[in-house]
């Protein structure tokens, strides 16, 4: 497996595990009213945003690598690519909102909006990762069929 594809998978795994975990722990920190934990997890949401952007850009080169596989239909790749573009934009917005949240998190409406938005984007992130796994499993099945 070429390095660009490995890097894309690694960054996707960081993003898919980091963002939902950060959102979950942010909710727990909010319930416990622990401001220090809240700040840590707002920063971790920002960091997961960086991983998402990196994952998106490595996905472009990974797409070129698997484009020639006959078993992988272009619609599977295009579907994952479309959702990746939307997710990247949403996560960039969420990342900046989490940084703004470091200053304005005490506002109840901002707090509620940020948590709901973060939860929805984390769920969408999981959905998009499943789309990526669909591409990956199609590629793996193709290799096993052709090379035993």
At residue 71, the pLDDT reads 63
List the chain pLDDT tens, one digit each, 148 residues: 567 677 877 877 777 788 888 888 888 988 998 889 888 888 988 888 888 888 888 777 777 767 666 666 677 777 778 888 898 899 899 999 999 988 888 888 888 898 899 999 988 888 888 777 766 655 555 555 554 4
The pTM of the full predicted model, rounded to 2 decimals, is 0.77
Q: What is the pLDDT of residue 2?
A: 61
Q: What is the pLDDT at residue 93?
A: 93
Number of helices (H) and strands (E), helices first, in the chain? 4, 0
Name residue, tokens 């909010």. 30
DSSP codes joined into one string, 56-86 = HHHHHHHHHHHTT-TTS-HHHHHHHHHHHHH
Residue 19: predicted pLDDT: 83
8-15, Cβ contacts within 8 angstroms, sequence gap of 24 or more: 8/55, 8/58, 8/59, 8/61, 8/62, 9/62, 9/136, 11/51, 11/54, 11/55, 11/58, 12/55, 12/59, 12/129, 12/132, 14/48, 14/51, 14/55, 15/48, 15/51, 15/52, 15/55, 15/125, 15/129
pLDDT at residue 138, rounded to an integer: 57
Q: What is the pLDDT of residue 47?
A: 87
How large is the greatest C-alpha to C-alpha distance in the chain, in angstroms?
A: 59
Burial (CB < 10 A; 0-12, 13-18, 19+), residue 57, is: middle
């Amino acid at each position: 497996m070429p390095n660009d594809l490995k890097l894309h998978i690694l960054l996707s795994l960081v993003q898919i595990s980091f963002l939902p975990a950060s959102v979950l722990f942010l909710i727990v920190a909010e319930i416990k009213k622990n401001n220090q934990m809240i700040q840590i997890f707002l920063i971790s949401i920002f960091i997961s945003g960086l991983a998402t952007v990196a994952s998106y850009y490595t996905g472009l080169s990974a797409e070129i690598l698997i484009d020639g596989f006959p078993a992988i239909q272009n619609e599977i790749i295009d579907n994952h690519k479309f959702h990746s573009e939307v997710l990247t934009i949403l996560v960039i917005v969420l990342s900046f909102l989490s940084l703004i949240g470091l200053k304005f998190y005490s506002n109840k409406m901002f707090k509620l909006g940020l948590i709901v938005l973060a939860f929805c984007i984390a769920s969408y992130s999981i959905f998009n990762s499943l789309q990526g796994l669909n591409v990956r499993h199609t590629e793996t099945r193709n290799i096993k069929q052709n090379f035993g």
